[in-house]
Structure 1
Amino acid sequence: MRTDRLVAALLLLQRRGQVTAAEVARELEISERTARRDLDALAMAGVPVYSTQGRGGGWRLVGGARTDLSGLTASEARALFLVAGPASAATPTVKAALRKLVHALPEPFRVQAEAAASSVVMDPRRWGSSRVEHRPPRFLDELQDAVIRGVQVRLGYVDSKGAETERTVHPLGIVAKGPTWYLVTDTDAGRRTFRIDRVSSVEPTDDPVHRPEDFDLAESWREIADEVDRRRTPLEIRAVCVPHGIGLLRIAFGGRLEVGGPTPDGRVEVAIRGQDEHMIAGELAGLVEWIEVTGPPEVRNHLASIGNALIERYG
């Protein structure tokens, strides 16, 4: 964290021209003693910083320097916040440091850095397929740029059946779902999501994106992912489970499991989504020690058939 603080203090000096130890302490949430020690460390490291005493004194950059002493170009600042901003998978410590840094960036960099910080969501869970895509999709950089700059794009797209279309979309954000990248947009037909590896062309326009005031990429993606999961697993079974079996169900079914309240006999109500009766019965057959399916009847019948087949073969 010392390096984070020193860079943040340097950028704060650059932005304001002069700071006091109290201001640095307040901005970086450290003690004044630590702030003074960090400012001294900058001077000892050769940064052109000097202090003035008395009323109106503080720390200044020699000559009132206003260059980007961090060494970051605009594109580098965007890249930094793109991969480690508040919407990414960065650690809480890194997120906190970058939130402080964005306030100290030069004005031309700040807006795009903040946009980059909220333009990407990382969702590590896959949807079914075990296929791994090692290379980023072709138009990822162009679409990230359009999201950050807030401009509409004319998008060429090939759907799952091979049909190619072209449309103008309002890019709102990008999500990495496992190894696959998605573009979240607004269109004339409403909110839409596109797989970026199926994008065939990208042509930015000069028209600004119409971004809903209350839009939050992470929340929007949760809603999209929940809807996709419901479509992929339309069947819901009801069951009761012994309390010490809930952890096992969470491991087995993940987000497909919903845990309800307790039953009079001390068990716990649960609901589990699956693709169809046969598949969900197969998944549940090995869990009879912990779980009892109460419905629908078709799943109970399939479980009974599996039980009879097991007895016939191994009994």
Structure 2
Amino acid sequence: MPTRTGHLLTGFPGILVGMRADRLMAILLLLQRREQVTAVEVARELEISERTARRDLDALAMAGVPVYSLQGRGGGWRLMGGARTDLSGLTASEARALFLVAGPASAATPAVKAALRKLVRALPEPFRVQAEAAASSLVTDPQRWGSGPVEHRPPRFLDELQDAVIRGIQVRLGYVDGRGAETARTVHPLGIVAKGSSWYLVACTDAGLRTFRVDRVSSADRTGDPVHRPADFDLAASWREIADEVERRRTPLEAQALCVPDAIGPLRMALGDRLVVGTVTADGRNEVVIRGYDEYTLAVEVAGYIAWLQVTGPAGVREKLASIGRALTERYG
């Protein structure tokens, strides 16, 4: 029997990409239901090539999932412990990593997520609470803030902080703010958010709910004391409120305009949540509100839509549009 290699907590992120997460979880569920499967059977069941099935089975083993292959006639792949295993071969951290795939940030399909939530009931009792916590510990927000550099490497203390979230343990946090000042405080970790290529810790503090950029964390020491988690706390909902507030601070200016219906779609693609569509006027146009950083930046953003968009205020944005128009006319006639 081959020796288990790797660690699921560190091995899974490099493997679970897009639809592949679905396939790997589906294979695991097949192994749960059956005594043994072959690569041919997996390929037929999932409608993939036999080569892909073999690669995915190998990937599960390399990620640390307790599966092994039997060679020769009548061989195949099995879960350690047999077909009706309770997955007791998983360590606590491996069980948590497995059920991260079932959370709202997962790329898995709803059917796979539902199957994983059922599968959690088969976990040994000591792992079950943490596995369920893992499913709600992470939120992914694909939109980046601004146009800063993209950092692909996970920040130093990400694993420690996510582990504290899942275990429900307070952390003594060292943190460097945007001005370079370092402070230390005890926080109650509630969730991790991946925002574009940046990572954030959402935590309760003496001052209320706060967010911390994980790449600014200078130390993270677990205290052993339990987290006091608000009974109605929902990470995804809380992050939406936080992100909306940050966006309002980043784009404090509001401009009013009238827009023809055909331009609403392109404008929404360009501006996202900064575009708010209102009522329809008597001439068939929509009243809209557009948020921006300042008058000139906002005028530049909407200048290309001027054939479909009539900015009605504030006066400063209209003046900047007129200035841009004069500059274009002078240069291009």
| Structure 2: runs of 5+ lacking an equivalent | 1-22, 35-74
SS at match of 2:304: helix
For residues 46-195 of structure 1, the aligned pairs below 5 Å read 68-69=86-87, 71-82=89-100, 84-91=101-108, 92-195=110-213
Is 1:220 aligned to residue 238 of structure 2?
yes
Query: Cα deviations across residues 204-226 of structure 1 (Å, max 9, x unaligned)?
Result: 01211110111000000011110
Report how far residue 105 of structure 1 moved: 1.7
Report how far residue 69 of structure 1 moved: 4.3
Residue 266 of structure 1: aligned partner: 284
Alignment-mate amino acid for residue 78 of structure 1: R
Separation in structure 2 between the aligned mates of residue 256 and residue 199 of structure 1, nearest angstrom:
30
**Consecutive aligned runs of 4 or more in structure 1 exceeding 3 Å deviation:** 1-10, 44-48, 65-71
Structure 1 pair 143–47 and aligned structure 2 pair: CA distance change class (3 A): closer
SS at match of 1:287: coil
Separation in structure 2 between the aligned mates of residue 247 and residue 215 of structure 1, nearest angstrom:
34
Is 1:312 aligned to residue 322 of structure 2?
no
SS at match of 1:225: helix
Structure 1 pair 139–69 and aligned structure 2 pair: CA distance change class (3 A): closer
Residue 5 of structure 2: aligned partner: none
Alignment-mate amino acid for residue 143 of structure 1: L
SS at match of 2:159: helix
| CA contact 2:172–2:187 (8 Å) conserved in 1 | yes
Separation in structure 1 between the aligned mates of residue 293 and residue 95 of structure 2, nearest angstrom:
45
Pick from 249, 254, 257: which aligns with 1:236? 254
Pick from 267, 276, 283: which aligns with 2:301? 283
Query: Cα deviations across residues 207-265 of structure 1 (Å, max 9, x unaligned)?
Result: 11110111000000011110111111100111111001011101111121111121111
| CA contact 1:140–1:196 (8 Å) conserved in 2 | yes
Separation in structure 2 between the aligned mates of residue 94 and residue 274 of structure 1, nearest angstrom:
40
| CA contact 2:251–2:291 (8 Å) conserved in 1 | yes
Identity %: 70
Separation in structure 1 between the aligned mates of residue 253 and residue 106 of structure 2, nearest angstrom:
32
Separation in structure 2 between the aligned mates of residue 310 and residue 184 of structure 1, nearest angstrom:
46
| CA contact 2:251–2:293 (8 Å) conserved in 1 | yes
Residue 70 of structure 2: aligned partner: none
Report how far residue 280 of structure 1 moved: 0.4
| CA contact 1:175–1:184 (8 Å) conserved in 2 | yes
For residues 8-19 of structure 1, the aligned pairs below 5 Å read 9=33
| CA contact 1:8–1:100 (8 Å) conserved in 2 | no
Alignment-mate amino acid for residue 188 of structure 1: D
Report how far residue 45 of structure 1 moved: 7.5
- So what's the TM-score if we normalise by structure 1? 0.79
| CA contact 1:158–1:199 (8 Å) conserved in 2 | yes
Report how far residue 190 of structure 1 moved: 0.6
SS at match of 2:149: coil
Separation in structure 2 between the aligned mates of residue 258 and residue 195 of structure 1, nearest angstrom:
29
Residue 201 of structure 1: aligned partner: 219
More deviation, 254-263/234-243 = 254-263
SS at match of 1:127: coil
Separation in structure 2 between the aligned mates of residue 293 and residue 8 of structure 1, nearest angstrom:
61
SS at match of 2:233: coil
Separation in structure 2 between the aligned mates of residue 67 and residue 283 of structure 1, nearest angstrom:
58
Report how far residue 115 of structure 1 moved: 0.5
SS at match of 1:211: coil
More deviation, 150-159/257-266 = 257-266
Alignment-mate amino acid for residue 170 of structure 2: Q
Separation in structure 1 between the aligned mates of residue 219 and residue 206 of structure 2, nearest angstrom:
19
| CA contact 2:87–2:123 (8 Å) conserved in 1 | no
Alignment-mate amino acid for residue 30 of structure 2: L
Separation in structure 2 between the aligned mates of residue 181 and residue 129 of structure 1, nearest angstrom:
16
Is 1:210 aligned to residue 238 of structure 2?
no
Query: Cα deviations across residues 21-49 of structure 1 (Å, max 9, x unaligned)?
Result: xxxxxxxxxxxxxxxxxxxxxxx98979x
Separation in structure 2 between the aligned mates of residue 172 and residue 296 of structure 1, nearest angstrom:
41
Separation in structure 1 between the aligned mates of residue 33 and residue 129 of structure 2, nearest angstrom:
20
| CA contact 1:142–1:202 (8 Å) conserved in 2 | yes
| CA contact 1:8–1:104 (8 Å) conserved in 2 | no
Structure 1 pair 71–296 and aligned structure 2 pair: CA distance change class (3 A): same
